[in-house]
Chains A and B, each alone.
Chain A
Amino acid sequence: EIVLTQSPATLSLSPGERATLSCRASQSVSSYLAWYQQKPGQAPRLLIYDASNRATGLPARFSGSGSGTDFTLTISSLEPEDFAVYYCQQRSNWPRITFGGGTKVEIK
């Protein structure tokens, strides 16, 4: 099983600040990595797929980068609606899909 480790567990930032979230895979997943956002009481929402492609309608302040084992989700300037939990997911060894443990972005 490919283990995805997200860091930090919690990120405390203010609106307007830059958020940098990390996802590290236990072995290479090439670019088969996605990022999701989840708000309380809601289903996850796909943000980024194939490491760096933005989902339809996603604001440009969200960007993804990386390949192999190290990936980053960057939110260039946090908006109030961006405070949420973010998960990475790999499909490199589909169908054995795995998710990271999540990073909570909270208001400082």
Chain B
Amino acid sequence: EVQLVESGGGLVQPGGSLRLSCAASGFTFSIYGMNWVRQAPGKGLEWVSYISTSGSTIYSADSVKGRFTFSRDNAKNSLYLQMNSLRAEDTAVYYCAREDYASGSFFDYWGQGTLVTVSS
């Protein structure tokens, strides 16, 4: 069974940092591109970033560029999101999502999400 489990969310002050993890199981993690998508409370979905199978290619939304960094460890079947210089508008549930070529490269599996709250 495919599973994606995010962790690391919590309450952080503006300007602070947080590192999210996404643990993958039930599939060959190393052959899938992965994404982060976030959802502010009561709002819609916002794509945050894409990381290629090897981690050598990374794209991110302008809203997080220069503040968030993305990485993966295929040996540990894990995806990471390092968030620095956090702002109130970064408050959201952060989901990791698998990009599946067989499903048109759309997101066929998602984690349950982890809530990040940026507040003083």
Binding site for B on A (CB under 8 A): 32, 34, 36, 42-46, 49-50, 53, 55, 87, 89, 91, 94-95, 97-102
Q: Give me 6 other A-B pairs in contact (C-beta within 8 A), A44-B45, A89-B45, A98-B47 excluded.
A: A36-B45, A46-B107, A53-B104, A99-B44, A99-B46, A102-B44
Q: Is B106's beta carbon under 8 Å from chain A?
A: yes
Which chain B positions have C-beta within 8 A of A100? 44
Q: What are 15 A-to-B residue pairs whose CB atoms are below 8 Å?
A: A34-B106, A36-B107, A43-B110, A43-B113, A44-B37, A44-B45, A44-B110, A46-B108, A53-B103, A55-B103, A95-B50, A98-B47, A99-B45, A99-B46, A99-B47
Partner of A49, one of B50, B104, B113: B104
Q: How many residues on chain B are close to A (CB under 8 Å)?
A: 19
Partner of B44, one of A34, A46, A50, A87: A87
Binding site for A on B (CB under 8 A): 35, 37, 44-47, 50, 59, 95, 103-108, 110-113
Which chain B positions have C-beta within 8 A of A53? 103-104
